[in-house]
């Protein structure tokens, strides 16, 4: 499981809504790849502001650019 996957799981657990949505499997895949995820505080304003920083290193989680993703413990292995 990647750090981005954990961020998406935490987002849904904390907000009660999925981070990405689509009417079909293809729409969902396109949303994950192309659409920014709203900050968790836009869904639950009572959450601490620091939480959005933890869930994402950019305004949307997961970071679309691999260089902006959270580092994985032990680093990536080929």
Q: What pTM was computed for the model? A: 0.63
44-54, pLDDT tens digit by residue?
A: 999 998 888 77
Burial 6-27, CB ≥16 within 10 A → b, else e: ebbebbeeebeeebbeeeeeee
4-27, pLDDT tens digit by residue?
A: 677 788 889 999 999 888 999 999
Q: What is the pLDDT of residue 78?
A: 45
């Amino acid at each position: 499981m990647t750090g981005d996957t954990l961020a998406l799981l935490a987002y849904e657990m904390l907000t009660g809504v999925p981070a990405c949505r689509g009417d079909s499997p293809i729409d969902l895949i396109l949303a994950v790849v192309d659409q920014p995820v709203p900050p968790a505080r836009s869904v639950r304003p009572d959450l601490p502001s620091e939480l959005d920083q933890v869930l994402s290193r950019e305004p949307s989680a997961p970071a679309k650019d691999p260089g902006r993703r959270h580092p994985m413990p032990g680093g990536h292995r080929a």
